[in-house]
Chains A and B, each alone.
Chain A
Amino acid sequence: MKKRKVLAIVMVVMMFAGLTACGKNTTTNSTATPTPTVAAATDTATATPEPTKEAEATATQAPAALETVELTMWGAEEDQTMLAEMVEAFKIAYADKANFVINLGVESESTAKDTVLTDIEAAADVFAFADDQLNELVNAGALQAVQIDTDAIIAANGGSEAGSVKAATSDGTLYAYPMTADNGYFMFYNKEYFTADDVMSLDKMMEVAANAGKQITMQFDSGWYLYSFFQGAGLSLQLQTDGTNLCDWNSATNAIKGVDVAQAMLDIAANPGFVSLGDAAFVTGVQDGSIIAGVNGTWNANVAAESWGDNYAATKLPTYTVAGQQVQMSSFAGYKLVGVNAYSDNVGWAMYLAEWITNYDNQVKRFETRGLGPSNVEAGASASVQASPAIAALAQQSLYATVQRVGGNYWSPTETFGAIMAAGNTDGTDLQTLLDNMVAGITAPVQ
């Protein structure tokens, strides 16, 4: 009898312990994994087996008088080996200043904002992110303004008017360290079908594709790509200080009216030589040969290069026909940046680390190991960088590209508008109404 009661108590306590275990499990960096053997950079990073989520690097031997600085850095999964090497070099370079314990963690640049904003105080001291997230990160107070070597960093990336610097600047303050300048989009094409002249105009490209029984593609149902048409036509989209957007894409007074752009999109969507495809479908289409040209970014450069071989080429976006004129398509310029957490306990050393992994040497290294286009002007000017078709295409497009500064309410309405255009506006709603609804959504106050 007594035994049974004791057993019952034990079970209840265990159940409770189980609950507490669930509740308290918030920290992620509890397990210290052994130091990874940093392989010589002969392999491509993707081929290197690197299952450890985070690797605690050993502290360099240094006199005991130096303070120990503990930092956490997040970077893309494919970059981990390279980042570990950069961190080792950083420790050696600053060995006389402090002892460093630097933990590496995996966090994709595309999702860094979401993870950081979930709990800023628990986020990494240094993290890489795509430039479209800068605004929300700054608004949430997650980013530390760059306060060490600011002028040198701006100069190295081409001065305060350079795209990469503008992308890292908010309200006149530099908030992040430009890392790469290759996150925008441009036109991939297969030279087997297109001449260099053909790719100047979207109409010509669609004609060639239709005649060949193939298709070219661009994703309509995404605000990111949709921007090309409206910005190219001279309509405007601006972010205001309160986080809302100013947008006149439904303008009836502009030289090229909003409805003209919408009509142009409908015409393109109806062309047999065109199809609107998402990222994954683009890859499938290129691989099975049904897609012979498409608007996409460097992340799919390898797919195109492998599928098309010597016929692989890339260039700026073409012109498209709107209201009877040829208009150059615009684009969002894309950069990857490195930010320092404003809530870091070692914000100064975090700044040094961020600066280190984005300096000239490491941008060159990043291009050599991962093929990522440097934002550093000097690194970008090298012959090997210029020889990469994708990066050269981005450079051409950069004349027509603008830094992405949009508020959060932009994405959902534009996605739906693009989808309606891609589907051919099947229920025949008045184009002006569609535009008005979209603009109402884009410019809606944040609620």
Chain B
Amino acid sequence: MNKKLIALRDGFLRPGKSFIEGDIFVKLSALFMGAGYFRRKQFIKGLLITIFQLVVIFFAYTVAVPYLSKITTLGTVQRESVFNFETMKNEENDYDHSFKILLYGIICIVILTAAVIIYFTNLVRVRNLQLLAEKGKHINNIIEDIRAYKNDKFHMTLLFFPILGILLFTIIPLLVMISVAFTNYDQNHMPPTSLFTWVGVENFKNMFTNSVTISFGYAFKKVLGWTLVWAFFATFTNYIGGILLAMFINNRKTKFQKVWRMLFVVAIAVPQFVSLLLVRNFFADTGIVNTICSNIGLTHILQNIGLVSENITYIPFLTNPGWAKFMIILINMWVGIPYLMLIATGVLMNIPMDIRESARIDGANGFQEFTRITMPYMLFVTGPFLVTQFVGNINNFNVVYLLTQDVYVTLDQALANSRAKEIDLLISWLFRLTNEYYNYKMASVIGIMVFIICAIFTLIAFNSMIRGNKEENFQV
């Protein structure tokens, strides 16, 4: 067994050991959490922990038990209401609200888990106090204890609020959302009026089923494929484009550098939301770009070489699967390259000049300098950024949704039957399922899939690309 495991095992055994080895007051602390502190004259601490114990017990009986007792069924009593003509109000029965049961149930579990952890660590603490007292060492009073949180234990003080925040706003919602994937929460089971309940892995089975009526399996494969293709191209076109643009602007021969840089920054200054919706109108089937293309004869040329079907009179920029995918990546370059240009400008300025100069003395040309010095350096510095960009692009909702919503209609009937479109990313499919069809359970399943995919890519990328200390060998 390795050391970490042994330490872990000891950690779990310590409360028990403390209890067995402790004196009567330590043993009593298992019942009254404050007992050990009172014995060592830490009265305020003892009082606080006693209050804590009472609050937890009160909470358990009034809140936790009612919710947790229903969490296995998520409620059984459906809402009924009768209108009372006297009071002009509805009289309702005491109905169950499945979602609240799920939500509060999970919150209760988290709180009770925390309480149990505190309970066991408390045993260790009072045992330590006993040991200190037996050795005749100094026992802190309350003021000294508080002071410790400003000095020795300052890291705990600082971390307390962030950890609480993550627990409240990340962990608990995440647990609730994951749970929804195992229920039948959809438009036929919408609280508060209807109840929903656990269905096990039924939804996951549906996600990978491909029949005429349930075509999620087919749709998932297609959407996932495009999501990955999109994430790859969106990340690397922007990355390469941004670096090249930064190099062109920073080139010594380029005049008015600041003007160029500002022009591209202006593209960032306009909110994406606005520019994307405008661009969607520009590229509509009857939009301005199509009018221009048709006037200069481009539409005709494209028809002749077979890129545009013969029986339409416009270029289907955002209405044909192939064209739309191409346009989405292209428009994303226009939106994203200026950002990358700014980042790349900063990094490029940091490349040590001596490396470049020695390369030039050795007779390297511009291209060699780019492939042997600039790119390795960029990749080394911006590696983590690339990974987050890739994962971010898997979830890049804006570009795809804003460009195609209300415009793009899929011609694939199997996709249509599961509400997906060829140009959908997992995230926009998920959005449509919840927002238009209230299919929370399937959306939740997709959410879990997205999480797994992102986690896998992040782990692989961070492990292989950025492992350890590669500072010395970036110029491979």
Query: Hey, which bits of chain A sit against chain B, CB under 8 A?
Result: 5, 8-9, 12-13, 15-16, 19, 22-23, 114, 117, 120-121, 136, 139-142, 144-145, 147, 221, 242-243, 270, 277-278, 280-281, 284-285, 342-349, 408, 412-413, 415-420, 423-424, 426, 434, 437-438, 440-441, 443-447
Chain B residues, CB < 8 A from A136 = 187
The number of chain B residues with a CB under 8 A from chain A is 53
- Collect the chain A residues with CB atoms within 8 Å of residue B89's CB: 345-348
Contact, CB under 8 Å: B417 / A413: yes
A141–B192 touching, CB < 8 Å = yes
Q: Please, how many angstroms separate the alpha-carbon atoms of A139 and B194 in the complex?
A: 9
Chain A minimum-CB-distance residue to B415: A416
B206 is an interface residue with CB less than 8 A from chain A? yes
Contact A416 B409 (CB under 8 A): yes
**A residues less than 8 Å from B54 (CB atoms):** none
| 20 A-B pairs whose Cβ atoms sit less than 8 Å apart in the complex | A5-B150, A9-B158, A16-B161, A19-B165, A140-B193, A141-B190, A144-B83, A342-B81, A346-B89, A408-B437, A412-B416, A416-B410, A416-B413, A418-B409, A419-B410, A419-B411, A420-B413, A437-B414, A440-B212, A441-B417
Q: Report whether B409 and A5 are in contact in the complex, using a CB–CB cutoff of 8 Å.
A: no
Residues of B near A16 (CB, < 8 A) are: 161-162, 164-165
Closest to B79 in A: A141
Whole-angstrom CA separation of A13 from B164 in the bound complex: 11
A23 to B165, CA, bound (A): 10
**Separation in Å of the A102 CB from the closest CB of chain B?**
16
Tell me if B417 and A444 are in contact (CB < 8 A).
yes
Give the contacting residue for A447; candidates B169, B186, B312, B438; CB below 8 A.
Answer: B186
Q: A13-B161, A424-B311 are in contact. Are A434 and B413 (CB under 8 A)?
A: yes
Give complex CA distance A8, B409 in Å.
53
Task: Name the B residues within 8 Å of A412 (CB-CB).
Answer: 416-417, 419
Q: Of A114, A243, A270, A348, which contacts B188 at CB under 8 A?
A: A243
Query: For residue B158, which residues in chain A have a CB less than 8 angstroms away from its CB?
Result: 8-9, 12
A140 touches B194 (CB 8 A): yes
Q: Is the interface of A mostly helix, strand, loop or mixed?
A: helix
Other-chain contact of A23, B169, B194, B285, B409 (Cβ < 8 Å): B169
Q: Mark B74-110, 1 if CB is under 8 A from A, else 0.
A: 0000010101010111100000000000000000000
B-side contacts of A277, CB under 8 Å = 286
CB within 8 Å of A: which B189-226 residues: 190, 192-194, 206, 212-214
**Could you tell me if B79 and A420 are in contact, using CB atoms closer than 8 angstroms?**
no
Residues of B within 8 A of A242 (CB): 188
Write the chain A residue with the least CB distance to B216: A447
Instruction: Give every chain B residue within 8 A of A142 (Cβ-Cβ).
Output: 193
Partner of A141, one of B85, B193, B285: B193
Report Cα–Cα, A120/B158, bound state, in Å.
40
**Contact pattern, B 385-424, Cβ under 8 Å of A = 1, otherwise 0:** 0000000000000000000001001111111110100000
**Distance to closest chain B CB from A342 (angstroms):** 7
Chain A residues with CB under 8 A of B214 = 444, 447
- Kindly provide the distance from the CB of A86 to the nearest chain B CB, expressed in whole angstroms: 20
Q: Is B168 an interface residue (CB 8 A)?
A: yes
Chain B at the A interface: SS class: loop
Q: Which of B441-467 contact A (CB under 8 A)?
A: 442
- In the assembly, what is the distance between CA of A139 and CA of B192, in Å? 11
- Known: A437-B414, A447-B206; 14 extra A-B contacts, CB below 8 A, are A9-B158, A12-B161, A16-B165, A114-B436, A117-B438, A280-B284, A284-B286, A348-B88, A349-B88, A415-B409, A419-B409, A420-B413, A441-B416, A444-B214
Q: Nearest Cβ distance between residue B220 and chain A, in whole angstroms?
A: 14
Whole-angstrom distance between the alpha carbons of A419 and B316 in the complex?
A: 13
Partner of B157, one of A9, A141, A270, A417: A9
- Whole-angstrom distance between the Cβ of B441 and the nearest chain A Cβ: 9
Bound together, the chains give a CA A12 to CA B155 distance in angstroms of 12
Q: Does B154 contact A (CB under 8 A)?
A: yes
Kindly report which residue of chain A lies nearest to residue B190, judged by CB atoms: A140
- Which of B190, B206, B213 contacts A440, CB < 8 Å? B213
Q: A424-B311, A437-B413, A441-B417 are in contact. Are A12 and B162 (CB under 8 A)?
A: yes
What chain A residues lie within 8 Å of B141 (beta carbons)? none
Q: Which residue of B lies closest to A438 (CB)?
A: B413
Q: Which residues of B contact A437 (CB under 8 A)?
A: 212, 413-414, 417
How far is it, in angstroms, between the C-alpha of A123 and the C-alpha of B82 when the chains are bound? Answer: 20
Interface string of B152-193 (1 = CB under 8 A from A): 001001101110110011000000000000000011101011
From the candidates B164, B213, B312, name the one contacting A444 in the complex (CB within 8 A): B213
Q: Cβ of A413 and Cβ of B409 under 8 Å apart?
A: no
Contact of A120 among B192, B212, B417 (CB under 8 A): B192
B309 CB-CB contact with A under 8 Å = yes
Q: Does B435 contact A (CB under 8 A)?
A: yes
Q: Chain A residue with minimal CB distance to B436?
A: A114
A424–B193 alpha-carbon span in the complex (Å): 45
In angstroms, how far is the closest chain A Cβ from the Cβ of B444? 14
Q: A419-B411, A438-B413 are in contact. Are A446 and B286 (CB under 8 A)?
A: no
Complex-state Cα separation, A152 to B435, whole angstroms: 37
| B104-132 interface with A by 8 A CB criterion | none
Residues of B within 8 A of A117 (CB): 190, 438
Min C-beta distance of B284 to chain A, whole Å: 7
Q: Which residues of B contact A19 (CB under 8 A)?
A: 165, 168-169
Identify A426's interface contact among B85, B187, B192, B309, CB under 8 A: B309
User: In the complex, are the beta carbons of A423 and B413 less than 8 A apart?
Assistant: no
Taking the nearest CB of chain A, how far is it from the CB of B84, in angstroms? 8
Q: In the complex, A121 Cα to B190 Cα: how many Å?
A: 12
Chain A residues positioned under 8 Å from B154 (CB to CB): 5
- Cβ contact of B285, chosen from A8, A147, A281, A413, cutoff 8 A: A281
Task: Give A284 to B287 CA distance when docked, in angstroms.
Answer: 9
B5-23 CB contacts (< 8 Å) to partner A? none
Please name all residues of chain A whose beta carbon is closer than 8 Å to the beta carbon of B88 when the two chains form the complex: 346-349
Residues of A within 8 Å of B311, CB to CB, are 270, 423-424, 426
Residue of A nearest to B212 (CB): A440
User: Are A347 and B187 in contact, CB atoms less than 8 angstroms apart?
Assistant: no
Across the two chains, which residue of chain A brings its CB closest to B92? A343
Contact of A147 among B83, B150, B188 (CB under 8 A): B83
Expressed in whole angstroms, the minimum distance between the Cβ of A162 and any Cβ of chain B is 24
What distance in Å separates the Cβ of A113 from its nearest Cβ neighbour in chain B? 10
- Whether B411 and A423, one on each chain, are in contact in the complex, defined by CB atoms closer than 8 angstroms, is yes
Contacts of B162 in A (CB 8 A): 12, 15-16
Answer whether A416 and B411 are a contact pair too, CB < 8 Å, given A13-B161, A444-B214.
yes
